[in-house]
Amino acid sequence: MHGRGDSVSSVILALGCLSFGQPWELKCSYSRAEGSVVMRTVQASALFPVPPDQAWEFVFGDQGRRAAAASKMGAAIENYRIRGDGTPIYTLVMKVGPIALRSVSDYDIFDRPRRTANQVLQSPFGGRFFVDFRPTGGGTMVTTRWEMNPSRQMVKMLLPILAPLMAYVLRRELSSWAAAAAS
């Protein structure tokens, strides 16, 4: 039997996981395990009104500085380096109010200008992060997908509340980048 808290969580999840059409899209996936909701994936898309090479350059060129400068989260890139196999590793710093959150992005796929995949390390959310660049008639559809794998029990417990916020922030970041890439 589900209590009132379960109904509230379901409403929050439904609001946060709406799917919208172009120019941006927002999706969440969840699984129920032992009566609790665990988020697996947060996905967002935005239409960049430029060809794939230019969208890629905006997001990953100049060591990610252009995307960081257009970030609504006050993002910064630290300790950026390219390894011998051509994949980058760096620390992403994002501001949430007065708090700076750091995570390491360790890439194993860096396929210009089509797709990337990286491990999200040293983050309470963990997991894998994917970025896909798909040419469209109006430019490039950039889709990000975060397969979250939190290691901390408290974060797992808070995911039903945090998931809609995480999906919204991801979509807002992509939309901000798309607007900046056009200028």
In the structure, what pLDDT confidence band is assigned to residue 4 with cuts at 50, 70 and 90? very low
pTM assigned to the model: 0.79
User: In this predicted model, what pLDDT tens digit does every residue of 66-118 receive, in sequence order?
Assistant: 999 999 888 899 999 999 999 999 999 988 888 888 999 999 999 999 999 99
Identify whether the C-beta of residue 142 lies closer than 8 Å to the C-beta of residue 131. yes
In the chain, where the domains are located = 37-119+135-182
Stretch 9-23: mean pLDDT, rounded?
38
User: In this predicted model, what pLDDT tens digit does every residue of 104-135 receive, in sequence order?
Assistant: 999 999 999 999 999 999 998 889 999 999 99
pLDDT value at residue 125:
87
Residue type, 86: G
In the structure, what pLDDT confidence band is assigned to residue 27 with cuts at 50, 70 and 90? low
- 122 three-state secondary structure: coil
37-119+135-182 maps to which CATH number?
3.30.530.20
